Amino acid sequence: MTEEKNSIINDQDLNSARQKYQRERSKRIRSDGMNQFNFGTGEFKRFIDDPNAEPSFRRQPINDEVDVIIIGGGFGGLLTAASLHQTGTTNVRIIEQGSDVGGTWYWNRFPGARCDVESYIYMPLLEELGYIPSEKYAGGPEIFAHCQRIAKKYGVYEKACFQTQVTELRWNETNQRWLVSTDHGDTMHCRYVCTSSGILHRPKLPDISGINTFSGHAFHTSRWDYRYTGGGPNETMKKLNKQCVAVVGTGATAIQCIPKLAEDSEHLYVFQRTPSSIDVRDNKPTDDKWAVAQEEGWQRKRINNFNDVLSGIAVDKNMVDDGWTSTVNMMMKQIQEDGMPDSEAAMEVLSEKIDLKKMSEIRQRVDQLVNDKKTAEALKPWYRQWCKRPCFHDEYLDTYNRSNVTLVDTDGKGIERINNNNIIANGKSYPVDCIVFATGFDFFADINRRLQCKIIGQNNEELAEKWRDGVVSLFGMHSKGFPNCFILGNHQSTATVNFTHTLHEQARHIAHVIQYAKNNQFNEVNVEQQAEQHWVEKILQQTSPLQAIFSECTPGFYNNEGNPDQSNPQNGSIANTTEFFEILTRWREDGSFNGLIFT
């Protein structure tokens, strides 16, 4: 198959790519789908223990009342606390399972951790805190420190409860309060409760035969064990210099930690089932002159610009102009040169050709950087760009030129089993001292599994039972029968690359509703059933631009491990993120609070 660099892909190349994609997909289809994973239960529970927490931590039970309790101390919880503070509600408590705020960036302290979205739009509240990231794509420690900075600015630490798991949220109709129970015996009361449990903190582990018989050391990347490896996120892991290490997985997390492990390990084996798409990151230090020249409101303007570009909205200038927007740039340029396609079918074909052009560039980059031809072929991704999360890195591919790094490509099959100190793949045993599982997260967990607690509303109804056949909400944040309860996340809201943008919009919305209720001395905020029904109908009418290709994609968490038809469309989201944000903005500006009931 020929891959053209500077012109649109021809029909012959497109058909050849389709056939290749289908062959590669077929190798990876499994009948067990999501059941091939374990999420830290049973004998896998040790993989979710917190290595950063104080093991013997104990405290006296708390029995008090605050205005708002927020479950989760990641960006969602922090932005909600900040938004509430900015609108006058300061009697707020965050309850967090970890020993500090940070969420994703508290748990994921693996070497090389770095945001894939530009720091200037990903790290929120930069203007409010007077902070400019040191690099275009900031490292994990810097982002974690920024989370702590937000917590200090908005008084989060004063009332926060860390190393605490909420066990139940129960609505008390008599006093119109939520009772929050925890594993420390707490009985806290609050007028409002917000849940923000995040999507990148609970490990997903492969249920490989013999995984718990491994005689060496093993951990998941989100629970990195520096006591074993030595060093820290930005330090040499000296204890690995005589260790043979295996990384299982080649997704976004593995891409970042593999170069660091290669530098510090005696030998590194990388076990790959499906290669990732690795584009240029082009990270660079922040230009001080650029930082000083930014005018008031610059960050929000930049965030909106990035979102508009990815939503296909014409802008005067692509401010971020990075790997995330490059395919959109290619599409816009082609349309400018050849004109708009005259039908939806023609547009779909053009989109597919642009996608192939981009993926051809990605595969060509592998050939340019990886010396060994067999290894290079194994590292080439054969699927459409959005079948899996695109990755960006400037050192990952070069790592395979090191003499102490071996790629074990399983040709889509995965590891066969683990036995004593061996990993068996392709019928061959690989003795290793340590296994690092870079196998991702429980991204699409239901509300119960994500929160690990029950939410019990009016008439003793449990939210998980109400949502058993699919989420029922208004804007994804309100659900009838669960008054004064707000839910942040990706169900029935929107999905965007810059997830902190969504969280911030949700936080602003919640703060606005609570402020209105307080100013008008309302005790309870509930939802009209008709408003819920209309929102569910709107969600069901959504057709993601990616939905049509998911059934043809190689298996991954985007398409429910190759079973997109088994995903519940009612748990989907608004396809166009700009549309979702505009819906919330117009709703607030209207001032009628349509769909909510205040009493």
Name the H helices within 91-187.
104-107, 119-122, 126-129, 140-153
* Spatial distance between the Cα atoms of 466 and 372, rounded to a whole number of angstroms: 55
Residue range of the domain that includes 455: 65-202+443-598
In 3D, which of 56, 60, 40 has the Cα closest to residue 48?
40
Q: Which two tokens stand for residue 286?
A: 């922040």
The pLDDT of residue 449: 64
* Spatial distance between the Cα atoms of 330 and 577, rounded to a whole number of angstroms: 21
pLDDT tens across the length of the chain (599 residues): 444 444 678 889 999 999 999 999 999 988 777 777 877 777 788 888 999 999 889 999 999 999 999 999 999 999 999 999 999 999 999 999 999 999 999 999 999 999 999 999 999 999 999 999 999 999 999 999 999 999 999 999 999 999 999 999 999 999 999 999 999 999 999 999 999 987 766 788 888 999 989 999 999 999 999 999 999 999 999 999 999 999 999 999 999 999 999 999 999 999 999 999 999 999 999 999 999 999 999 999 999 999 999 988 889 999 999 999 988 888 888 887 888 888 888 888 898 999 999 999 999 999 999 999 999 999 999 999 989 999 999 999 999 999 999 999 999 999 999 999 999 999 999 999 999 999 987 766 566 666 678 999 999 999 999 999 999 999 999 999 999 999 999 889 998 899 999 999 999 999 999 999 999 999 999 999 999 999 999 999 986 666 667 788 988 877 777 777 777 888 888 988 999 999 999 999 999 999 999 99
Terminal-to-terminal C-alpha distance of the chain: 66
Q: For residue 15, what are the CA distances in angstroms to 22, 75, 304, 384, 549?
A: 11, 44, 37, 13, 15
Cβ atoms of 509 and 477 closer than 8 Å: yes
Backbone angles phi, psi at 23, to 5 degrees: -65, -45
CA–chain centroid gap for 492, Å, is 16
Q: For residue 44, what are the CA distances in angstroms to 210, 218, 272, 460?
A: 12, 11, 22, 33
The pLDDT of residue 248: 97
Cβ atoms of 421 and 214 closer than 8 Å: yes
* Spatial distance between the Cα atoms of 467 and 571, rounded to a whole number of angstroms: 9
Task: Note whether residue 215 is domain-resident.
Answer: no
Strand partners, 66: 190
CATH number of the domain at 184, please: 3.50.50.60
Task: Note whether residue 222 is domain-resident.
Answer: no
Task: Note whether residue 327 is domain-resident.
Answer: no
The pLDDT of residue 44: 80
* Spatial distance between the Cα atoms of 203 and 437, rounded to a whole number of angstroms: 9
DSSP reduced 3-state for 285: strand
Secondary element (H or E) of residue 20: helix 11-28
The pLDDT of residue 2: 42
Task: Enumerate residues 6+ apart whose C-beta is below 8 A from 121.
Answer: 299, 302, 303, 306, 320, 498, 501
Q: Residue 6: count other Cβ atoms within 10 Å of its Cβ.
A: 5
* Spatial distance between the Cα atoms of 542 and 271, rounded to a whole number of angstroms: 37
Burial of 345 (0-12, 13-18, 19+ CB in 10 A): exposed
Task: Note whether residue 24 is domain-resident.
Answer: no
The pLDDT of residue 451: 66
Cβ atoms of 400 and 372 closer than 8 Å: yes
Task: Note whether residue 104 is domain-resident.
Answer: yes
Task: Note whether residue 552 is domain-resident.
Answer: yes
Task: Note whether residue 48 is domain-resident.
Answer: no
Task: Note whether residue 236 is domain-resident.
Answer: no
* Spatial distance between the Cα atoms of 570 and 492, rounded to a whole number of angstroms: 8
Beta strand 434-437 with 278-279: parallel, antiparallel or unpaired? Answer: unpaired
* Spatial distance between the Cα atoms of 504 and 502, rounded to a whole number of angstroms: 5
What is the number of domains present in the chain?
A: 1
Cβ atoms of 418 and 211 closer than 8 Å: yes
pTM of the model: 0.94
DSSP reduced 3-state for 485: strand
Name the H helices within 215-322.
226-229, 252-264, 288-293, 298-310
The pLDDT of residue 41: 75
* Spatial distance between the Cα atoms of 136 and 364, rounded to a whole number of angstroms: 25
